[in-house]
Every structure is written in structure tokens, then in C-alpha cells.
Structure 1
Amino acid sequence: MTASLQAALDPSAIAVIGASENPDKIGGRPLLYLSRFGFRGEVWPVNPRRDEVQGRRTVPHLSALSRAPDLAIIAVPGEAAVAALDECAEIGVKVAIMMASGFGETADPEAKAAERAMVARARARGLRMIGPNSQGLANFGTGAVASFSSMFLEVEPQDGPVGIVSQSGAMSVVPYGLLRGRGIGVRHAHATGNDADVTVCELAAAVAADPGLRLLLLYLESIPDPHHLAQAAAIARDRGLPIVALKAGRTAAGQAAARSHTGALANEDRLVDAFLEQHGIWRAQDTTDLVAAAELYLKGWRPEGRRMVAISNSGATCVMAADAASTAGLDLAPLGDETQARLRAILPSFAATRNPVDITAALMTNSALFSQILPVIAEDPSADAFLVGVPVAGRAYAVDDFGRDTAAFAAATGKPVVIVAPQELVAAPFRSRGLPVFSGEGEAVRALHQFIAHHERIAAAGGRPPPPAPPPPSEAALRLLDEAESLALLARAGVPVVRHRRCRTADEAVAAAETIGGPVAVKGCSAEVAHKSELGLVHLGVSGEEAVRAAFEACRAGLAKAGHAPTGVIVAAMARGRRELVLGAHRDPFFGPVVVVGDGGTYVEAMPDVALLLPPFTQAEVRRALGRLRIAPLIAGVRGEAPWAIEPYLAAAVAVGELMTMEPRIASLDVNPMLVGTEPGDCLALDAVVFGDGLPSP
């Protein structure tokens, strides 16, 4: 599908339906831009009431054209826009941008239905649509600026290595303005609007293939088709193109606002985090964060580690840089002994040489200190990235030399360098030489951390295939497997389960208890009960024939009292371990299979400490996910306790992910508790519940 979008990004001919003489109207702005920004193809204004618009001859309707344009801009409202889209489909237009509003972004069910119907008609005839409610597309590489944004009049465009794809019109151009204000050229600035047909994810995949891009920025209010976004990420990884995404709607209030803005369905935010991380996409927190590290990405550096060296003529800058690095997770490793000795031979005796390196105010009387120490630090193998801070300088300082020497230092090391220089007088010599400049230590370190951590994420995601589109929801009724069926299903998938037996009679229960060896657990079993404890259907530590018979009858009576049909009684071994964990999974309508790992037991809903993973994933990824939870210190062992034998649990999580991928009839499963201990054999699923559609009856 993404190949068809090249007609929108690089069209040979564009028709403007509703073309206006007034360049400040929606139908006039694209005509102005196509002339001003060098579009080399044909432009055909469509206006039945004028013979000429902005110096171009018009046609009264599309059918009067000698051939179908690749791209049509629909700049008329309401029913006229719907009719224009149908006409585009009739004559063979490849892509249409519908700028009209009042469709799926509203709360009106009839408007939503009209949107779905017109998309279906267009797709049936091979027409792709961007919008409705779209501000338009802008490709400054080809001059195909099919947009009505006023930003391009306020901030002069310049083709460059950055692309922006957004569901929001404003957020397609706000980052553009911020980047242009920093002298960075932008090639793509696209707004998809309602995503009724072409989604922000699909357009991102098409833009990611542009060989001229070195950074792709996304603004998302929902992720309507994760498989296309995964495809975009795979294309970008193959090309070495970082993707930074601002996904709004982290909170319930934000999700409600997003629905009213674009009509988008909200995605569960933890799933969004898991998905973006899995595919090597960095998630920005706000608009400033979206563009904060742009210069770092565009330098082409490839970070090799997290060890940062801070260099400044201010002790305060050194301290604040150290605090910021510690908060961000960057390591201020000491410079090597030989490096420190060489620095002490250059700097005053009261200077700090360990890391941070404090040049002190001696820089005022000897500006050459910069050029003398930087080559020394460049040779130290314990540094992966650098922060150079010059908070204050003036007439007595050779600030141009500082910029020259630092640029030479960055070129010599090939490692990331950020500059902290709040004074424009000081910042200018660094910025003019292409170095990333920030006004404060915190923002510089956060950008550096993002850049380093993002490359780690991209490396971890390398080689991951894009997932298939989730299958449509099944119409079959969901059915609960009873505990015995659920445990059997998991055992076949490779999950270790407790020794157990389903028993139909009290005599079978007694025989099972004798075989398993007491004491045992006796539990009621029914395909109508997901939670047994509340009904008194769980009896633990049962010993002896009489007690087993009594527990069996109590389970049967409890099920009968609650009106549930029994499928037997489970007799299971009692197991001991260190901790009860949870292992669950469900099928998300957008992201497909989702696996839940983390702390379990009775209070898992009240005090959740879990992480989400999207298959396929590895045991190493499960381990990293557990490492971010509150229980992480317990896994390694505390206060002299032995560490948990967690490997069987990791393998079980991978097995559940594979099961959910291979068996689409499973809607959800819950293994709680799953016991872990200090020995591999301690890892056992003690109880399980599986829901499915179309699963076979017992």
C-alpha cells in the first residue's frame, strides 16, 4: 500500500478542487505554495465559476481534464467534498487530500458513517484518501506543498534531512518551526487528519523510505495500525534513520481530548510504550522533547557507551552536569590515571581532573587551555560522550577559539559532544561549527541521554520483523476452559505446571492424593468459574482419605450452590517457592497478542507491578522487563537470600508469547500464581484460566 503513496509525495500533476484567487483561503493557499516553492509538475485549478485563478487557467470539473492527476486537493466543504472524492475515484486519481472537516472527528454517528462509506467507495476504485480534516502534505524536496498551513509564510522553508508526519495539522508544523529556528532544514511536513484511509503509520512508512532523510519525527494521538508503524521502523532501521515519536494521550483526559480531536480510538498507554521500545522508536514527552536532540542525530555519530566526561570553566556547571548525568543514567567514569597526570601538568594545581574536569577561572587568563586539554581527553579510552560547558565568557575570552578547538575535538574523537552556553555570544562560535548547543546542563544531558539510549534501543530492535496485521475480531462466543484444560494447554506449550489430576469421583480423588503424595490441594473445577476462592472451592494442605473425601464433596456442593456445572475436582501437589508471580496474556484489537509478566498473588489487581511484552520476544527481553519492576531487587536476592531461579519463568513467558501468536483462538489467559523459588524445579504454574473463541468443548 505504501508504494501508492509516492503519488502524494512526488506527484507529476496536482488538481486543486475549490481553487481560490485568495491565497489566504484554504483553496488558495496550496496554489500559492505550489508556485512559490518550485513544484515542477502540472497544476490544474478546478473552479466552475472562474476562468482563471492566481494566473492559472481553470477547468469547471475534473472530467474536463485531459488526464487524471496523481494528486487531488479537495478544498470544498461538506457534501461537495464527498462528491469531489467520488469524482476523483471515477476518473482515476491516485490520491486525494480531503481538507473538509465534520466527519469522523465529530461525535455524530451519521458523520462517522458517511466517512466510512466514502472511504469504502474510494478504496473500491483504487483511490487512496488522506483526511478528512487534513491540513495537507508538504514535500519541500519536490515542491509538492499541498497544504494550507500559514506556518510556511511565517517561517521560510528549506529542504533538509528531517521529516515530520503527524495526525494533527498544528503538530505537523510546530516542530517544523522549532527546527527551522535552529537552522535545520525540513523536507516533509505532513498532516493526515482523521486517518480514515491513509493513516499516520502508513504515511510514515512511505516517508521513511526517502533516502534524503536522517531523522523522522512523528506526532500520534493513536496508533491505528501498528503493523504499518512497525514497517516504518523496520525501513528506518535498515537505513539508519532514527524515529522519535510524540504519542499524546498518556492520561484518560488526554485520550478523551484525542478522541474529540481526530476521532481516533485511544491505545492503552503501557502497550504504546512496549510497542515503541520493541521497534526502536524513541518516545518523546512533549513538543520540546520531540526536537531536543535533533542536532545530535543529524551529526551522524554512533555512540558506543554511556560514559560521559564533563568539561567546564565553572565548578557549578561541573556539579550540575554530574547531577544531571546521574539522574539520566549516564556514568561519569573517572578519566584514566595517565590522562589525569597529563591534565595536571597543563591545568592549575587547584583544577579538578578526575571527571568532571574543572578548568577554573584560569581560562580567562589563558584561553589556550581549551586547545591544550581537549586533545589529551580525546585519547582517553574511558569516555563515550562529552559535555563542554562555558556558562559565562566575555571580552577576555577567545570564544571563537573555543568553538574551533571543540569542533576539532569532536571530529577527532567521532564521539557525541554537547555544548552548554547560555550566552549567545558564547554559543554562536560552537553553533556555527555545527555543534549541538543548549542553554542548560539538564537539557543538554537529557538530549545526550536520549541520543545514546535511543541507539541502544535501535540496536536491540535490529532484525525484528514487522508483525502481521491483527486478524479481525471473531464472531464466535468466548468460552472458558476449566482449570484442567487450561493447565493441559499450557503444559503442551512448554509451561511447567504443578502435578495434578482431574477427578470425577471421591474415590478418584483419594487415589490421586495417594499417588501425588500428601498433603494436596483440592479445588473445584468448572468451565463456568474463573475465580474459585470466593466460592470456597479451594482447600489447601489436605491430608488423609477422610479429609480428601470431605474436600471433594465440599467442592461439589459449592459449585452446585452457586449454580455452576462441575467438570470434576482438581487434586494437585502442594508446592513451595519464594514468590508468586503472574504470567498472563490477552489479544489487543490493535497490537495483537500482549503478554503480562511480573508480581502475582492475591493482590495483583490492587497493587500491580507488571510489565507488558509484545511477541515475538526473547528471554533476555523478559529479564529486562522484570528488571524495571519494583520486585527487581528481590530477584537477585536481598539480605543474604539466594537469588531466584528465574530462567524457567523467562522460558515460560516466551512460550506463552509463542502460544498466543500461533493460536489466534485464544483471547486471554491468566496463570496466577506461577511459583518461583531458588531451584529451577520450583517454577510451576499452580492455577490457570484460558478464554477463547471457537475453542473445542471439553
Structure 2
Amino acid sequence: MGAVENTAIQRLLHPRSIAVLGASDNPIKLSGRPIELMKRFGYTGRLLPINSRRAQVQGLPAYRSLDEVEGEIDLAMVMLPADKVIDGVRDCAERGIPAAIIGASGFAEVGESGELLQRQLQAVIAETGIRVLGPNCLGMFSLRDRALPTFSSAMDDSTELREGPVAFVSQSGAFGTFIFSAAQSAGLGISHFLNTGNEADLSVAEVLGGLVETDESKVLMAYLEGVHHGRELLRVARRAHELDKPILAVKVGRSAAGARAARSHTASLTGEDAVFDGATRQYGILRVDGMERLLDTGLVFADGRRARGRRLSTLSLSGGAGVLMADMASSNGLQVQPWDQVWQRRMAEVIPPFGSPRNPVDLTAALLSDQGMIRRALEITIEHPDTDMIAVLLGNADNGSAQLIDAIEHAYRSTDRPLVVVWTGGSGRPRQRLQELGIPCYTDPGRAAAALGALADFSLRPPLPDPRRPADIDEQVARAIIRGAREQGRTQLDEHESSRLIAAYGVPCAGAFPADTPDAAVSAARDLGGPVAVKLLSDHIGHKSDVGGVRLALIDDGEIRTAAADLLRVAREAGDPGARLLVQRMAGGDTELIVGIKQDPAFGPAVVVGFGGVLVEVLADSQVGVAPLDVDSAKRLLMSLRGSRLFGEVRGKPARDVAAAADVVARLSWLAADLADDIAELDVNPLLLDAVGAGAVAVDCLAVLAKSTR
């Protein structure tokens, strides 16, 4: 993000003056609501109604045009009909206003006529350099300055706003404000809320990029229906990683039905969800499922505490609740380990003899008659050296809750370890009081465990990828292979060309020679030595096994000649009389992987890894990373496969050479990045993996060229 763009976004986020174009004197009308809201909540800057027919708007001096306003204007909210918006935005740009918010609908989300209008708007934005939020958006809340250029109903019944460290950006307007309101009710303080709408200009990624640089925003949350600037999102994720600021994201469109709904709702182009999932894991963005998980996770991050490990100690009023918490914690990657005997004896001194000091610690119902017990138990827990996080599980207990809360608050203030409370049942007043004190509080152990698991994942996150290009890559050889195919008017490389392409990037390939006749196939087999495979070599037939185009483990000259003649017949029957043969040395290794590259509309070049062979679609065990990858990231990708245990020692078989496979994945990721304009798809299937030290070898490869832009 350039300095000019960042300055414009910062003035959007912290406007010292706001002009409202089309401001109405009627506070009930949509065009009157921004003025009413900012007056009611006490906006600290200059509020400038623009209305050509009135001298005053809602008691404020009004201006007939922007030219009448003296001094700088940081932000304009354009509350004009869709057909007047473009002229309004141009007026803002000519007046020197760096940023504008467009509330009107009627753009790309409504179909062809709206798409045309949005393209015209984008042309004005490109011509003038003004930065625009929207159109079809509800605007923004900046709680520090009480800047509320919005017509949202989220604050209809509010008299105060809870300010805090969490910034939230949403592509959906109404649903985004639902989440904002729920956050306020849950005690989650907000620094900013912005709705990006159709993203004719500013995207969620760019807005997050501005927010990550603000001092008051310590936690970033996003609701996404599609991703327009995937690489920018990853740049922001890297910056957030440097600043120790988590990004929590809900992205809909996992299913085909969800993706269709997202496109029709905000005109978003939804990239393949698996790529988003892989990219967020790779760059440390915490993807959560749904509004509840988003708010739960935001609560545990809001106080800025970090986990030093995954060890959770639980104190409970109910043994059953403690067991449930242990189960939920385990399923979220946490460890609930019994304390050693020394610490159990210390805990046993302050709890009833019929309680349990092991961990989970069962304080029993005796806590209700001796509220001081929890203070003593928490003091020991905080001293316990093998405790990284603490959970207190209570229920009902409205009577006497004040003393319990005092003890919890005392413990919370006396430690920097994450501490959460689960308070189930009762009137809800204890939960409300804990929220007011800024102590994360939940109604269910599972919700608390999921939030703590996310906190541990972020706190213990690995370094972000720092890919280093292998020195032995020969990009010029690869480009020459592609150029040769394009000169012949082809959009697909045959297997031999594809293998030479990946070999130029240092990927080990099984030795092979092309052959035009059965006799040439026999000669090639003699040169290679050992058992060979004979395959169809065609730039028309993509999947040879589908047409019976492969013969394996051939040794005898006669069977090689017969197989070759048969395959040439198969090619003629499949419609490719010009097909040749590829004679390939049989490779060792009995673990089959697939490694592919593809171009994602949002994130660009991506790498897919999975268990391969002919059953790749049946197994459906794959993971995705964005290119380029370093070797460590490639290894994590492989080890995240559901079947990754097959890489270890299984039934007497030695462990597989995962390091060699990771090297291949990293090299192919550089191919994907370097040749993004030329390679649409590429599959290595299978990549055969042998025992540790024996390496990995590609035995089949297919590359499809992108449409030429030259």
C-alpha cells in the first residue's frame, strides 16, 4: 500500500471533518441518520451537512455545495441516489477530499445495468485517485472519535458505545452490524466497524491494512463473502504477525450454494474455498466458523494476553463440568494434565477432602458456602509452574456471586496468563459483571475451550514463510519449452515436455525417452535398463489411464514391442493418430502423492498436495498453499494431510522421505510463481515417495498452458 493510499485510509478511519452529501433535515430518513447519530453520540470533529435547499440541517449550518466549506475535509459520506453518485464523487475529488463512503445501492449487486454504473464509478476513482468505501454499504463507526458516518439501525436503542481494541470489517452490511451489536452485548469493545459493500475500490484487505497500523486496534476481525485482493490480505497478515495482532476471519461460501449466494449478494467473486483455507493457515489468519466463534475468540484476544504453552488448569464447581472441559480442551489442541504430587498436596490443603486436586480441580459444591476457597485455589493455580492457561467453571450461584467475582478479578489482575470463566445458568448478572470487568466469560465449556485453543494456536504460531529461491532453477529452459509449444499452437504439453519443465526446476523425474515406433521403444528400453513402463505420449489425451494408455513393468523385448504397437492402436482409436510413446524406467517408492499447481482468481498461483495415484478423487485428501513456499511450510502442508501417519513407520515399513517430498513441493511452488502467466494447471501424479534418504521421484506430469495474453 502506497503512502498516499495509506494516508487516505487513515483519514477515513480517523476523520477530523465529515461532509454528508444529500444530508436530510429529517433524522428518520436514511440521508438524515448520519447527522442524527453523530450529534447524539458526540462526534468530536466538524460535521458538515451539504444540502442545496436548506440553510440548516438538524440544527447545524448547512452548505449548498462542497465549495462553500472552508478548510480541509477528511471524509465525505455520499447519501445521494445511485444515478447522482458519480457526479458527487467527482465533486469530492475535485474539492480535495481523500476518501468517500457511498451508501447507495443499485450497482453491481443488481445486475447488468448496475455493473455498468459501477464500472463508470471505478473509472472516476482511477482518474481522480479518491479512495471509496462501497457502494452499497452502511458506512463506518469510529468509536474513539464518535465518527459515525452511517445510516445503520444498530444504535437505535443505544445511549452509549463500548469502545475497545477490536476492529471489525465486513463485506455484508446488515449482518455485519448484527455482529457489531452482539459484540457490544457480549462486552467486546470495538474501535472501528467498516462495511465494504461492493468493494468498487477499497477491499476488506486494504481496510485491514489501514487498521493494523492504528494504535487502538489490537485485534482485527473480518466477515468475508469473497476475496478480491488475496495477495494484499496476505501482506496485511504478515504485518499483523509482526505487530502481534491476530486476524480472525469468518468466510462464507464453503459450499457451492453458499458461493452462489455470496456472488448474488455483494457481487463478490468467490475464489475456491480450499485456497482461502490454505492461505489463511499458511499466513496465520485464524479462520473461525460463524458469528458465535468469532465473538468468543475475540473476547479471549481482547485483553492482549498470550499463552506460553497449551497446558490448561481447570477449577470447577462441578466434577462433570471439569470432565467436559477436559474433553473439549483436548479436541481443541490443549492439554489438561494431572498435577504432580507436590502441587496436588498443596491444592488438597485448600479444598474439601472429597474434592479432587488432580486437574481438573473439583472444588465441589462446598464452594457455595465457602466462597473464599476459590481465592485460595486460584492463588495456588497461578503459582503452579506447569499452568499456561486457567479456566474457572461455575454455574447458577447468583447468591454469593459478588465474592466469587471479587476473587476471580483479584486472580485475573495478579497474573498475565490467560484466564477465562465459564458461568452456566443463573440470572446472567454474574456474566454481565465479569464482562464489565473485561474478564472473558462464556456460557459453555466447549466455547471457552475453542477460544483458548485459538489463542494457543496464535501464541505459538510458527514463523511466517520466508521462501528462498533455489539456486539451481533454470527458468530459461522452462520458458523455452513453453515457447516451443505456443509456436505450434498447442495449449497442453505432453508428458515428456511436462517432465522436462519440472526438471528445469530441480524436480527429480524418472528416466525416460520418447519413441515413435515399437522398435524405437525396444531400443529406448535397452538404453534405460531394467523394467520399464511404456505410455502414450500425447498432448491431446490428458489422462492416459482412462483409455488404457499405460503398460507397466515390462522387461522382455517382445512384450515391449507388443505393448508399444497396442498403445499406438489405442491412440488412433482415441482420435490422436500422431501420438508417440514414452518409455520410462520403473521408479521405486510405494507411497503415491499428487502435487499440482493452479491459478486462483483471488490469491494467484497456488500449490495442491495430496495422496495421489488413480484414486486421487476418491481419497480427496489434499491441502493447498499459496506460492511460493519455503521447505518448512511445504512440510507442514504435507503433515496436515489426514493420512499423514502413512509417512511414518507402518507395519514394519520404514518412514517415508517427507523432506524430499517437501523439497519437490517448494520447487514446484516457485515454478507456479515464476510462470504464473503461462501455466494454468500442472499435475505431478504420482510423485513416488520412498524410504527416508531414498528421495522422491515424479513419474507422470501434465501441464496445461494459460491463454496467451501476448
Q: Which secondary structure does the structure 1 equivalent of 2:164 belong to?
A: coil
Counterpart of 1:80 (choices 55, 80, 84) is 84
1:117-128 map, 5 Å: 117-128=120-131
Paired amino acid for 1:651: D
Correspondence list, 1:473-622, <5 A: 479-564=491-576, 566=578, 568-622=580-634
Indicate yes or no: 2:124 matched with 1:111.
no
Q: Deviations over 1:653-689 (max 9, x none)?
A: 1111111112222221101111112254362111100
Q: Report % sequence identity.
A: 33
1:133 — aligned with what?
136
Counterpart residue number, 2:106? 102
The one-character-per-residue Cα deviations of 1:106-143 (angstroms, maximum 9, x if unpaired) are: 1x212202211221122212222221111112212233
> Distance in 2 between the 1:658 and 1:121 partners?
37
Distance between the aligned counterparts of 1:594 and 1:361, measured in 2?
Answer: 55
Q: Is the 8 A contact 1:527 1:566 kept in 2?
A: no
Residue in structure 2 matched with residue 470 of structure 1 by the alignment: none
Q: Distance in 1 between matches of 2:637 and 2:598?
A: 18
Q: Which one of 51, 58, 65 corresponds to residue 47 of structure 1?
A: 51
Work out whether 1:675 is the aligned partner of 2:679. Answer: no
Structure 1 pair 478/44, CA: closer, same or farther in 2 (3 Å)? Answer: farther
Q: Within 5 Å, which residues of 2 pair with 1:216-295?
A: 216-295=220-299
Between 91-100 and 202-211, report the one with greater CA deviation.
91-100
Moved more, 83-92 or 162-171: 83-92
Q: Using the alignment, how far apart are the partners of 2:441 and 2:81 within structure 1?
A: 45
CA distance in structure 2 between the partners assigned to 1:686 and 1:460 by the alignment = 33
Q: Which of 343, 347, 351 lines up with 2:351 in the alignment?
A: 347
Label 1:432 to 1:163 Cα distance change in 2 as closer, same or farther (>3 A): closer
Alpha-carbon separation, structure 1, partners of 2:121 and 2:180: 32
Distance 1:462 1:302, change over 3 A: farther
> Does the residue aligned with 2:280 lie in a helix, a strand or coil?
helix
SS in 1 for 2:179: helix
What amino acid sits opposite 1:118 in the alignment? Answer: L
Amino acid at match of 1:586: K
In the alignment, is the contact (CA less than 8 A) between 2:654 and 2:692 conserved in 1?
no
Contact 2:219/2:298, CA 8 A, preserved across alignment = yes
Kindly indicate whether the alpha-carbon contact (under 8 Å) linking 2:275 and 2:600 is maintained by their aligned counterparts in 1.
Answer: no
Q: Deviations over 1:425-461 (max 9, x none)?
A: 554664454321222222222222222223334x443
> What TM-score does the superposition give when structure 1 sets the normalisation length?
0.92
Q: CA deviation at 1:356?
A: 0.8
Corresponding residue SS for 2:374: helix
Q: In the alignment, is the contact (CA less than 8 A) between 1:216 and 1:241 conserved in 2?
A: yes
Q: Distance in 1 between matches of 2:667 and 2:78?
A: 50
Alignment of 1:313-392 (within 5 A): 313-392=317-396
Unaligned runs of 5+ in 2: 469-482
CA deviation after TM superposition for structure 1 residue 326, in Å: 2.4
Deviations 1:327-380 (A, max 9, x none): 322211111221012223333332212111112233344333223332323232
Shift of 1:584: 0.8
Q: CA deviation at 1:271?
A: 1.2
Native 8 Å contact 2:306 2:455 kept in 1? no
Matched to 2:632, the amino acid is A
Residue 147 of structure 2 aligns with which residue?
144
**SS of equivalent residue, structure 2 residue 8:** helix
- Among 434, 442, 447, the residue aligned to 1:443: 447
Q: Which deviates more, 523-532 or 616-625?
A: 616-625
1:471 matched residue in structure 2: none
Distance in 1, matches of 2:86 and 2:418, equals: 51
Decide whether the 8 Å contact of 1:259 with 1:266 is kept in 2.
yes
CA–CA distance in 2 between the matches of 1:400 and 1:283? 36
The verdict on how the C-alpha distance between 1:346 and 1:53 changes in structure 2, with shifts beyond 3 A counting, is closer
Superposed CA RMSD? 2.5
| 1:68 to partner: Cα distance | 6.6
The alignment status of 1:407 with 2:409, answered yes or no, reads yes
Q: Tell me, what secondary structure is at the counterpart of 2:260?
A: helix
SS in structure 1 of the partner of residue 619 of structure 2: coil
| CA offsets 1:171-194 (integer angstroms, 9 cap, x no match) | 332222122223443221111111
Amino acid at match of 1:132: P
**Count of aligned pairs:** 683
SS in 1 for 2:620: coil
| Counterpart contact for 1:131–1:195, Cα < 8 Å | yes
Q: How far is the alpha carbon of 1:571 from its aligned partner? A: 0.9
Q: Answer whether contact 1:165 1:218 (CA < 8 A) is retained.
A: yes
Relative distance call for 1:144 and 1:427 in structure 2 (3 A) is closer
1:200 is aligned to 204
Instruction: Give the letter aligned to residue 620 of structure 1.
Output: D
Give the secondary structure class of the aligned counterpart of 1:331.
Answer: coil
| Kept in 1: contact 2:21–2:77 (CA 8 A) | yes
SS at match of 1:145: coil
Paired AA for residue 34 in structure 1: M
Quick one: distance in 2 between partners of 1:347 and 1:164?
43
Q: Distance in 2 between matches of 1:433 and 1:196?
A: 41
Query: Structure 2: how far apart are the matches of 1:432 and 1:65?
Result: 42
1:276 CA drift (Å): 1.5
Instruction: Give the letter aligned to residue 131 of structure 2.
Output: R
In 2: Cα distance, 1:464 partner to 1:339 partner: 45
CA contact 2:683–2:703 (8 Å) conserved in 1: yes
- Partner residue of 1:468? none
CA offset digits 1:555-592 (Å, max 9, x no partner): 33333343326464211112242222111111112111
Question: Counterpart amino acid of 2:123?
Answer: A
TM-fit CA distance, 1:211: 0.7
**2:492 alignment partner, SS class:** strand
Letter in 2 for 1:672: N
TM-score by length of 2: 0.90
Whichever residue aligns with residue 125 of structure 2, its letter is A
Corresponding residue number in structure 1 for 2:479: none
- AA aligned to 1:671 is V
Tell me: CA distance 1:493–1:119, structure 2 relative to 1, closer, same or farther (3 Å). Answer: same
Instruction: Answer whether contact 1:13 1:71 (CA < 8 A) is retained.
Output: yes
CA–CA separation in structure 2 for the residues paired with 1:12 and 1:375: 47
- Given the superposition, is the C-alpha separation of residues 630 and 11 from structure 1 closer, same or farther in structure 2, using an over 3 Å criterion? closer
Instruction: Report if the CA contact (8 A) 2:249-2:287 is conserved.
Output: yes
Query: 1: CA distance between counterparts of 2:163 and 2:490?
Result: 54
Amino acid corresponding to residue 576 of structure 2 in structure 1? H
The answer to whether the 8 Å contact 1:404/1:430 transfers is no
Secondary structure of the residue aligned to 2:107 is coil
Higher mean Cα deviation, 82-91 or 282-291? Answer: 82-91
| Aligned counterparts of 2:195 and 2:670: Cα–Cα separation in 1 | 37
1:686 alignment counterpart: 699
Aligned residues of 1:133 and 1:194 also touching (Cα < 8 A): yes
Distance 1:578 1:546, change over 3 A: closer
Equivalent position of 2:478 in the other structure: none
